[in-house]
Structure 1
Amino acid sequence: MLIYKIFRRAEWATLRATGLTRGAPVDLTDGYVHFSTADQARETAAKHFKGEADLVLAAVETDALGDDLKWEVSRGGAEFPHLYRVLRITDVAWTRRLPLRDGAHVFPDEML
């Protein structure tokens, strides 16, 4: 199963340059890397990245994360995937730009 992480361009550049990340400031505060499922990603973008352009969507295969991935109740009582270790560039299956069009983020066809 694929799960998704939305990166600001600078955060993605850091991951590419160093090969690992503990995530965005919210991830550092919470102590884990936040992910969303395909069904949750659009709401995550709208809530936490509203109006932000130049984002990168990274897809990660859950099998590659092992026991460090936990499913925990979060927004609206839904279970969200949380990674309790650094995210490595080698964990990323693929990335796509997440453009902003008419105020909404446009997600890739792979997620439909």
Structure 2
Amino acid sequence: MTTMKTIFHITEHQKWHQAQILNIYHHPSLDTEGFIHASQPEQVVKTANRFFKNYQNLVILFIDTAKVQAEIRYEFGEVDELFPHIYGALNIDAVYKVIEFQIGEDGVFYLPLEISQLIDLN
């Protein structure tokens, strides 16, 4: 039995809603950097607290890497860690779960239970 490899992408609820209407997810970073940023499970909170401070109405996309049609490359980001980058628009059928990503009362993001359970499985 093979285990599904999941990566995550944080986005605004409205952008995800638009992707569902268009049947494809196209993030502005595709135009500026050539890829869509994603995170491995243990990188989600660090990414959120670094790049999404004070954002509201966020969701986390759970992405099955085996279903992504675009190329995924694991590359070093600004920190010395490998991050998954999706080199093309994301076909929405690769997204198997979407959860709300609420900031804590203290202004900090915390790892949602659904993601911590995935980390525990590895």
* Residue pair 1:4, 1:41 contacting (<8 A) in 2 also: yes
> What is the TM-score with the length of structure 2 in the denominator?
0.83
Structure 2 stretches of 5 or more lacking a match?
Answer: 117-122
> What is the TM-score with the length of structure 1 in the denominator?
0.90
Rounded Cα–Cα distance in structure 1 between residues aligned with 2:6 and 2:34: 22
Q: How many residues align?
A: 111
Identity of aligned pairs, percent? 24
Structure with a larger share of its residues in helix: 1
Compare CA radii of gyration and give the structure with the larger one: 2
Rounded Cα–Cα distance in structure 2 between residues aligned with 1:61 and 1:35: 12
Q: Structure 1 residue runs of 4+, over 2 Å off?
A: 25-28, 105-108
* Residue pair 1:98, 1:107 contacting (<8 A) in 2 also: no
Q: Which residue of 2 aligns with 1:40?
A: 43
* Residue pair 2:67, 2:93 contacting (<8 A) in 1 also: no
Rounded Cα–Cα distance in structure 2 between residues aligned with 1:45 and 1:101: 12
Structure with a larger share of its residues in strand: 1
Rounded Cα–Cα distance in structure 2 between residues aligned with 1:39 and 1:110: 12
Q: CA RMSD in A?
A: 1.5
Q: Which residue of 2 aligns with 1:109?
A: 113
